[in-house]
Structure 1
Amino acid sequence: MRYTIVTETYPPEVNGVALTVRELERGLRARGHEVEVVRPRQHRRDRPADGELLTAGALLPFYSGLRFGLPSVARLRRHWRRQRPDAIYIATEGPLGWSAMRAAKALGIPVASGFHTRFDHYMRDYAAQWMQPVALAWMRRFHNRSAATLVPTLELRTELNGLGFDNVVHLPRAVDTRRFDPGHRDEALRARWGLKPDGLAVTYVGRMAAEKNLDLAIRAFRALQELRPDARFIWVGEGPELGGIREANPDFIYCGMQRGEALAHHFASADLFLFPSLSETFGNVTLEAMASGVATVAYRYGAAAEHLMHGVHGAAIALHDEEAFIDAACRLSLEDASRRDMGGNARRAVQPLRPAQVAADFDAVLQGIALRRSHADVHAALA
């Protein structure tokens, strides 16, 4: 089969959408399919790799480091007339995503879309609550033009069904347990963080932005630090909030963006992972921490609702209960043996999750919409 993936973010950009899209692409290729990626040019010297089509892009306002694709309907339509895919997956709802949707519709190519980002929730985090209904309506209009909207959790599928989204399909996520492994724990790295062998490394991994609710992580750490003065807070990632956090908290350890094996070492070298975000559709880092054998405190939705068992793998906190989040972080900071057991339990819980199975399920969705379109064309020809 010939598939096309359209996305407005892609590695080396580091965020959940970019990394998830790349894994889906690799999974399809591993299954023997021809895959094209359509994405914006990320910088002036960016050149397409084999199987890529680059389009014009621009920096995303108020969100440094990320870009969006400019409208490209005519170009995509010409390109897909020459090289017609059997099905298209559109991962983002920006101008490039809308262009792909319109071009595919004009050519009769079946489309699946991915619900990766809660733009409606972002409106709240960026002090534009009045825009939430507008953002939701815009997202619903976009996704309801596709033959299937893929979501990572059953909880989100139920929510979107109730909000008027059609054809919502659950596509579970997985984690690479060979990459994220407790065996990558690095005592030399911990020593560079200023930790003694029995010290407590608390970590946050992810984008440092307003929608990540990072003030709660800071308050939770300050509370547990009163109980564990040997604790250090390790921050892995970048983002627009980093400067302010660094200025207000010069004692934290800032490791910047980490990738590949280095990221795996940073995860496995931690003792407790705090993830206070309330704006995720999933939260891949939750699975990565669990696979790394690290007890986790997170709100009970997304990946945590699907995979993090409260009291067994860490703490899964009821939404918006900040006091419970802080209390759980403090409690786990004091219970060294219990916390280590939780990390081991978490590792075992995610080991059955296989990226190859996600690729097979994704392939089945795309083949399904392609087959339905083919049958519809046959019936139309015979009518």
Structure 2
Amino acid sequence: MTNTDNINADGLRVALFSGNYNYVMDGPVRALNKLVAHLEKRGASVLVFAPTVDEPAFAHSGELVSIPSLALPGSRSEYRLGFGLVGEAKRRLNAFAPNLVHIAAPDITGFQALKYAEATGATPVASFHTRFDTYPRYYGAKWLEKHLTNYMRNVYGRCVHVYAPSQSMREELLRDGIGKDIRIWTRGVESDLFSPGQRDLEWRRRNGVEDDDILIAFVGRVVLEKGIDVFAEAITLASRSNPKIRALVVGEGPERARFEANLPTGVFTGYQQGADLARAYASADIFFNPSITETFGNVTLEAMASGLPTIAAAASGSLSLVEDNVTGKLSPPEKGAAGYAALLVDLAADAQQRAHMSAHARKKSLEFSWDSVLDDLIANYRSAMATHQR
């Protein structure tokens, strides 16, 4: 971590471009809002450009310029596709005259922001939040993946820096030729909020959970690319060996009805935030994240801070957070639901092992402070600008 004693962002004029900033709460959006608030605290000027809706999900940080947009068709209509820098958005950008352009999504607006930076001399950087190019496989369009990957190589390859959220994701991007100078912008966690002390047996009982049930938590958007089908199948297989294994699902999304149908004995809380979310984490016994599209895994870090051992895919972001057989267990994704089920059964039967992993998970999570993480990014901004001006 950078020595943050003298970190300031004076003179930085940052234009941030995102496909979502306040209309759906998820891990990347939480990180971007944390970033904007921190930049302003450190003295930077920031202007955010993103699609908006009439009723946002939460009160966002900073000043937000609305990008004209349209809801995506089909089951993902909660997300929006921006039409780019037109009209008022373009005028606001020109008037703001940023010296650094931060692209958080390689969509139409992000690509136009890159071209703006190249035309004006502003320093273009990008943060990598999601393997968008893997999404088509979950919606019957796997043929599209290679074309999206090539497009991402073009966009990220033209940025001075690309910020990956974990070392494992950095290595994956380098392997796939997505970006050149790839640096780490990890994530922080509010360890005072997310902690083992939030565990609430009465809350479990009100939700029909017995004290000796082993509650396996899923937290996040209920969408196919989060691995919900694998989660449900693994829980079903594991519960055949140990009927005390139950699922806890915290979150909302277009596939909730499908998820509930596949987990008839599961506890579904819907979307939770703040203290309610912290209580839900800590009241579980094991966190299970089978997603292979995570670039970091904010929910995994929050679960670790809550003292949960994690079972996760040995892929992308989880590899940088979960230490196998220390803070949790990793399973190669190719082993599928059966591989996860075996680990769930093993960990559910061993309270001592769970306690050992819980302590180590909590200790590991305390290494992730938002202030130091975001000051590191400011230092990288300065480095990118110095490189770009040579």
TM beyond 0.5: yes
Partner residue, 2:265: 251
Give per-residue Cα distances to partners, 1:230-257, cap 9 Å, x unaligned.
3321111112211112234332211111
Partner residue, 2:6: none
Partner residue, 1:180: 194
Q: 2-side partners of 1:363 and 1:14: how far apart?
A: 24
TM-superposed deviation, 1:135: 0.6
Task: Give the aligned residue type for 1:131.
Answer: L
Q: 2:176 aligns with which of 163, 169, 174?
A: 163
Give per-residue Cα distances to partners, 1:106-153, cap 9 Å, x unaligned.
222111111111122112222211111101011111112211111112
Q: 1:290 to 1:41 in 2, by over 3 A?
A: same
SS of match in other structure, 1:150: strand
Partner residue, 1:14: 25
Q: 1:95 to 1:193 in 2, by over 3 A?
A: same
TM-superposed deviation, 1:76: 4.5
Q: What does 1:2-151 correspond to in 2, within 5 Å?
A: 2-43=13-54, 51-62=63-74, 63-73=76-86, 75-151=88-164
Task: Give the aligned residue type for 1:35.
Answer: V
Q: 1:320 aligns with which of 328, 331, 334?
A: 334
State the superposition RMSD in angstroms: 2.1
- Mind listing any 5+ residue stretches in structure 2 that lack a counterpart? 1-11
Q: 2-side partners of 1:291 and 1:152: how far apart?
A: 18
**Alignment identity in percent?**
29
- Mind listing any 5+ residue stretches in structure 1 that lack a counterpart? 377-383
Q: 2-side partners of 1:236 and 1:112: how far apart?
A: 33
List structure 1 segments (4+ residues) > 6 angstroms apart after TM superposition.
44-49
Asked if the contact 2:290–2:313 (Cα under 8 Å) also holds between the matched residues in 1, the reply is: yes
Q: 1-side partners of 2:288 and 2:56: how far apart?
A: 38
Task: Give the aligned residue type for 1:368.
Answer: S
Deviates more, 1:341-350 or 1:17-26: 17-26
Q: 1-side partners of 2:60 and 2:369: how far apart?
A: 30
TM-superposed deviation, 1:319: 3.2
Task: Give the aligned residue type for 2:77.
Answer: S
TM-superposed deviation, 1:266: 0.8
Partner residue, 1:240: 254
Asked if the contact 2:82–2:109 (Cα under 8 Å) also holds between the matched residues in 1, the reply is: yes
Q: Does 1:358 align with 2:373?
A: yes
Q: 1-side partners of 2:157 and 2:284: how far apart?
A: 42
TM-superposed deviation, 1:334: 1.0
Q: 1:207 to 1:50 in 2, by over 3 A?
A: closer
Q: 1:48 to 1:282 in 2, by over 3 A?
A: closer
TM-superposed deviation, 1:45: 8.8
TM-score normalized with structure 2 length = 0.90
TM-superposed deviation, 1:50: 5.3
Q: 2-side partners of 1:251 and 1:163: how far apart?
A: 41
Task: Give the aligned residue type for 1:84.
Answer: A
TM-superposed deviation, 1:75: 4.7
Q: 1:286 to 1:57 in 2, by over 3 A?
A: same
Q: 1:36 to 1:327 in 2, by over 3 A?
A: same
Asked if the contact 2:326–2:357 (Cα under 8 Å) also holds between the matched residues in 1, the reply is: yes
Asked if the contact 1:73–1:102 (Cα under 8 Å) also holds between the matched residues in 2, the reply is: no
SS of match in other structure, 1:41: coil
Q: 2-side partners of 1:142 and 1:177: how far apart?
A: 35
TM-score normalized with structure 1 length = 0.91
Q: 1:154 to 1:231 in 2, by over 3 A?
A: closer
Give per-residue Cα distances to partners, 1:52-96, cap 9 Å, x unaligned.
211212112331311122121565543233221221211011122
Q: 2:314 aligns with which of 276, 283, 300?
A: 300
Asked if the contact 2:170–2:182 (Cα under 8 Å) also holds between the matched residues in 1, the reply is: yes
Q: 1-side partners of 2:262 and 2:342: how far apart?
A: 23
Give per-residue Cα distances to partners, 1:155-193, cap 9 Å, x unaligned.
222232233332222222232212211111122211122
Asked if the contact 2:84–2:109 (Cα under 8 Å) also holds between the matched residues in 1, the reply is: yes
